[in-house]
Each structure stands twice: as structure tokens, then as C-alpha cells.
């Protein structure tokens, strides 16, 4: 297990400071704002700690309200909205500087028998082991000089192998533009057999590439096209258990953008082709004049 993954697992081990009140921190690095996937994952941990272990999260709906300040802790207040016979509902508000920066509603459900079908088909893609590391793909685009050297060399918690072009590649070659992103990812370690942990880590990883799917359509890239953006809202549905220390195919597409916003949706498949998670996110995208 590399140090970056250890850091993520440590970030998800929230401190309980009162009944239904938890505190989380951010990585000690120079970033302008807290990564949205981190806030969503920590909020889901806080909600999950107030729910019986026989109830698994099946959906979450979240809004990113203000940028998170990585220099101070985040306080998560959990409201016990409902404890029913089959479903449990929680609302979480993340607070910094006395103001809400993020809200989330999450629903948990007992295991029940029911009708089942899957219309979604996993795309036919190369095996992840045959694809280069994300860092190697990026190095081929930007080189290994400053200011990229340290960023490319640092360990990452998630091993990501792109099937489709990177936004930086499409920024240089318009023929690579498209509205779909397909990426294999996994956490490269043997993780505990804790269903909530795997769901939380799926939520953490879900925010990495969705906005990029909108950028890819227009040949835009962070740091290369006068682009600014942020996640606005995020929704996930967890259909079946998912093991994120095994490969997961994250198939994403952007059906629409306009009015300085973009919509992206994704599906996470197990290696055997089972649909495990559905994701939808709207983001803000602003492009200044060159």
C-alpha cells in the first residue's frame, strides 16, 4: 500500500466529537480547495457511522455549495431524518468557517429479494494491464520537466488506466475529442472486507474524471485552455456490492453542456460486466478568452 492510499484511508477515519458530529481533515499539500470526492466520501462515512451495519447505502444526492478550505478541519453534522423498517435516511451538512460548504442526503437499505435486470452492457475495452499508467500517458504529453516533474512523480491512491484520450491529448489534437471517457481504476492494495469502505472509496474516485468528460468534448484541459470549473451537484446509486481493490471500469459520457454548466453521467462495472454503480454530476465550466 503506497503512502497516498494510506493518507486517504486516514482521512476517512473521522474523529467523532459529539453524538452525530464528526470532524475530518484534508491532505497537507498546497491546493486551493478541498477535492470534492474527499468531502463526499467523508460525509458518507459520517452518515454510515450512525446507521446499523445491516443496512447498506443505496443512494446519495449531494450539493457542493462553497469551496472547501484545506487548511482547517471540516465538521460533519449528521441529521437522523428517518429510521424505517427497511430504509434509513440521513442528511449531512459539512461546515467550515461557520458556513455550509456541502450537503448530502444518503439512503440506506436492508438486503431484500426482488425482481432483477440489467439493461446496461459493459463496453468492450482492452484489459487494464495492457494499458499504460496515467502518469506515463501524461508524461508523454507534458514531458518530465518543471512544473510537472514533482506532480507526476508523487504516488496516487488510485491506479487509473485510460481507454479513451486524456483531455490534455485532445487539447493538442482535435481529432481526439469525444463525449465519452472510459477508465479502469482500482486501489492497489488488499483492503478490509468492509462494504461501507468500498462504497466510500468508490464515491471518492467517482469525482476524479466526470468533469473531464465534459472538457474532452470541447478539447479543453485544466491548465491548458484558460479553464475554470467546479462540481455543483453529485448523485450516486449503488446497485450491488463493489470491490474497489479489484479493477472497476468507469464508463462516462457527457450528454449536454451550456450556460457555463455541463452534465456528465457514468456507470461502474465489475470486471465480469455487472453494473454496480450509476453516477450523475453537473459541473460549472467557464472558459476565458485566450
Residues serving a catalytic function are 207, 231, 281
Q: Which residues contact 147 (CB under 8 A, 6 or more apart)?
A: none
Q: Which residue has the cell 486524456?
A: 166
* DSSP symbols for the chain: --HHHHHHHHHTSPEEEETTEEEE---SS--SS--HHHHHHHHHHHHHTTS-TT-EEEEEEEEE-S---TTS-EEEEEEEEEE-SSEEEEEEEEEETTEEEEEEEEEEE------------------GGGSPPHHHHHHHHH-SSTTHHHHHHS--SSEEEESSPPHHHHHH-GGG--SEEEEEEE-SS---S-HHHHHHHHHHHHTSSHHHHHHHHHT--TTTSSEEEEEEEEEEEE-S---TTS-EEEEEEEEEEETTEEEEEEEEE-TT--EEEEEEEEEEEEE---
b/e map of 85-101 (b: 16 or more CB within 10 Å)? eeebbbbbbbebeeeeb
Amino acid at each position: 500500500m503506497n503512502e497516498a492510499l494510506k493518507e486517504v484511508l486516514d482521512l476517512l477515519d473521522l474523529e467523532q466529537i459529539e453524538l452525530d458530529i464528526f470532524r475530518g481533515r484534508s491532505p497537507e499539500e498546497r491546493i486551493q480547495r478541498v477535492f470534492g470526492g474527499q468531502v463526499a466520501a467523508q460525509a458518507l462515512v459520517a452518515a454510515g457511522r450512525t446507521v446499523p451495519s445491516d443496512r447498506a447505502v443505496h443512494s446519495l444526492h449531494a450539493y457542493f455549495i462553497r469551496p472547501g478550505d484545506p487548511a482547517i478541519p471540516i465538521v460533519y453534522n449528521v441529521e437522523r431524518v428517518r429510521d424505517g423498517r427497511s430504509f434509513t435516511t440521513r442528511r449531512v451538512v459539512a461546515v467550515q468557517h461557520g458556513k455550509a460548504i456541502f450537503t448530502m442526503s444518503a439512503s440506506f437499505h436492508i438486503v431484500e429479494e426482488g425482481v432483477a435486470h440489467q439493461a446496461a452492457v459493459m463496453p468492450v475495452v482492452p484489459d487494464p494491464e495492457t494499458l499504460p499508467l496515467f502518469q506515463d500517458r501524461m508524461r508523454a504529453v507534458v514531458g518530465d520537466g518543471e512544473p510537472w516533474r514533482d506532480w507526476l512523480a508523487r504516488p496516487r491512491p488510485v491506479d487509473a488506466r485510460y481507454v479513451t484520450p486524456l483531455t490534455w491529448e485532445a487539447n493538442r489534437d482535435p481529432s481526439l475529442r469525444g463525449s465519452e471517457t472510459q477508465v479502469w481504476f482500482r486501489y492497489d492494495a488488499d483492503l478490509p472486507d468492509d462494504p461501507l469502505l468500498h462504497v466510500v472509496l468508490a464515491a471518492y474516485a467517482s469525482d476524479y474524471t466526470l468533469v473531464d468528460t465534459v472538457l474532452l468534448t470541447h478539447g479543453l484541459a485544466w491548465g491548458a485552455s484558460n479553464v475554470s470549473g467546479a462540481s455543483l451537484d453529485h448523485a450516486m446509486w449503488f446497485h450491488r456490492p463493489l470491490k474497489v481493490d479489484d479493477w472497476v471500469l468507469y464508463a462516462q459520457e457527457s450528454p449536454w453542456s451550456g450556460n457555463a454548466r455541463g452534465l456528465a453521467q457514468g456507470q461502474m462495472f465489475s470486471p465480469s460486466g455487472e453494473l454496480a454503480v450509476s453516477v450523475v454530476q453537473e459541473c460549472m465550466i467557464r472558459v476565458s478568452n485566450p
